[in-house]
Amino acid sequence: MKKGTRYRVLLEAGKLMEADGDGVKRYLIELLSAFDRLADESALSWEIDLFIYGDIVPLREYRPWLDIRIAQHRFGLMAYEKPLLRFKQFLRNTLPAKLYGRLAALYRSLPFRPLLQLVKKGSKALQRSLKPLHKDPRLAGYDLIHLPLPQHEDSFERLGIPTLITVHDLTHKRFPEFHQARNIRLAEKGFRFARKTNARFIAVSEATRQDLLKYLDIPEARVRTIAEAADKTVFKALNDRELMAAVRSRYGISDGPYLLTLSTIEPRKNLKRSIEAFIRMKEKHGHPGLQLVIAGKVGWKSREVLGLAAERHPDIVFTGFVDESDLPALYSGALALCYFSIYEGFGLPALEAMQCGIPVLYGQAGALPGLVADAGLAADPLNTGEMANAMHTIASDEALRERLAARALQRAALFDWDECARQTLDYYAFCIEKNQGSCE
């Protein structure tokens, strides 16, 4: 950045208002939190604003709500949302905690939130058609727009402002069978926007960068790899046996050793083969009392992935959605994380597990080999025999587990959100100055 220069960046942040804490929302929360920490450095000459469903909010005003578990209730709201939120707060304050928890779980299990999101997005799309963003005077003066997801391009293309897009993976290109048609359509629309606007890209891993170059023919000079990280204040090794036992009990995990998987239950996560490998390992080697704990919300084609027979296996536990505050205890209590995904653009659960001091069993595909390296055991994610052998090895060799756990902590220390934020700000400056100094 040129000395004395102050740049203005508008960061699309609608993901903050979504209830689910998926990987993109995590990325956004952690990046903004790191920006906020760096903002206190006297040399930081940035003005970063958030675009939340039509509202423009300075990052400094959003500070109190930079938390994965909550959404800001003042910004980006439709008229119908305010009374609903007041009613929710009334129930939380008046009902016993257990009753409120049951009602909240019932609400999450029914399609209310997706329906309300559709209503909201449709209403916002109508608003944008009546008042396009390129005619909005508030957008004047920004030097760069950062989209944390290609699908969130909306109506930014006619603004004439340089655009930077974070790409988390290219599964819609490499494995379209793992996506719903709507997701593929939105992703393709986002990349068409990127080509029209001559956007630059952040790839969250070297594997994702290579995919961008190969599958979308993006010029190498327009892509920079900036790795994600995991929150070091949250994801760390725990030794509190009482706390860990309470968390196990909460999710129906009995005493004894367990292997953990953590992901949305959907085809890409390869859970069907993980289950088959676990059953095969148990049948061949025994391991009495060893459980496979499958943590995560139900996604699409979940019955096809899991199968009724697997659900009845006595040593397989399905926890459903796990609150982030409980994850460190689940990680820390496991022998290892089983993460045999067919493809990952980064693999954040693997890094979280490593920070909690446990090794990772991972698929030799996508970004996972570069992320985990020698902090775990690799297997072909299409070969249940190799996966079963990795499970058996990690479950039966305590000395190996300890060596891999030590490497996991060392490996995890290489990834840091503040460093990610510094590199991102540096790339912001590069993108802006390139645009100002050329006709690209």
Taking only the tens place, the pLDDT of each residue in 228-253 is 999 999 999 999 999 999 999 999 99
How far is it, in rounded angstroms, from Cα 350 to Cα 396? 21
Phi, psi of 320 (to 5 degrees): 75, -165
Antiparallel, parallel or unpaired: β 7-12 and 336-339:
unpaired
More reliable by pLDDT, 438 or 392: 392
pLDDT score recorded for residue 237: 94
Exposure string over 366-378, b if 16+ CB within 10 A, otherwise e: bbbeebbbebbbb
- Judged on CB neighbours under 10 Å (0-12, 13-18, 19+), 126 is exposed
pLDDT score recorded for residue 62: 87
Handedness of CA 391, 397, 400, 401 (dihedral sign): positive
How far is it, in rounded angstroms, from Cα 343 to Cα 161? 33
Could you tell me if 216 and 174 are in contact, meaning their C-beta atoms sit under 8 angstroms apart? Answer: no
CA distances from 156 to 40, 122, 145, 252 (A): 30, 17, 8, 47
pLDDT score recorded for residue 162: 92
How far is it, in rounded angstroms, from Cα 145 to Cα 9? 6
Over residues 322-346, the pLDDT tens digits come to 888 899 999 999 999 999 999 999 9
pLDDT score recorded for residue 120: 66
How far is it, in rounded angstroms, from Cα 314 to Cα 290? 10
Q: Which domains does the chain have, with CATH numbers?
A: 7-77+132-229+417-437 (3.40.50.2000), 241-412 (3.40.50.2000)
Could you tell me if 407 and 375 are in contact, meaning their C-beta atoms sit under 8 angstroms apart? Answer: yes
Q: Which pair of structure tokens corresponds to residue 383? A: 């070969």
How far is it, in rounded angstroms, from Cα 368 to Cα 222? 24
Q: What contacts 368, CB < 8 A, 6 or more positions away? A: 339, 341, 344, 347, 350, 360, 362, 378
Rounded to 10 deg, the angle between the 112-130 and 97-109 helix axes is 60
How much is the mean pLDDT over the chain?
85
pLDDT score recorded for residue 291: 95
pLDDT score recorded for residue 129: 59
Say yes or no to pLDDT of 438 above 50. Answer: no
How far is it, in rounded angstroms, from Cα 88 to Cα 113? 13
Instruction: Using only the alpha carbons of the chain, give its radius of gyration.
Output: 23
- Look at residues 395, 399, 398, 397 and name the one whose alpha carbon lies nearest to residue 315: 395
Over residues 121-156, the pLDDT tens digits come to 676 666 655 556 667 788 888 999 999 998 876 668
Over residues 68-118, the pLDDT tens digits come to 666 555 665 666 666 776 677 777 778 787 777 777 777 767 776 677 667
What percent of the chain has pLDDT above 90?
50
pLDDT score recorded for residue 405: 97
How far is it, in rounded angstroms, from Cα 241 to Cα 329? 9
Could you tell me if 78 and 123 are in contact, meaning their C-beta atoms sit under 8 angstroms apart? Answer: yes
Over residues 402-433, the pLDDT tens digits come to 999 999 999 999 999 999 999 999 999 999 98
CA distances from 236 to 262, 303, 326, 332, 411 (A): 16, 33, 12, 8, 13
267-296 mean pLDDT: 90
More reliable by pLDDT, 186 or 274: 274
Q: Which pair of structure tokens corresponds to residue 281? A: 């390992």
Say yes or no to pLDDT of 372 above 50. Answer: yes
CA 99 to chain centre: 30
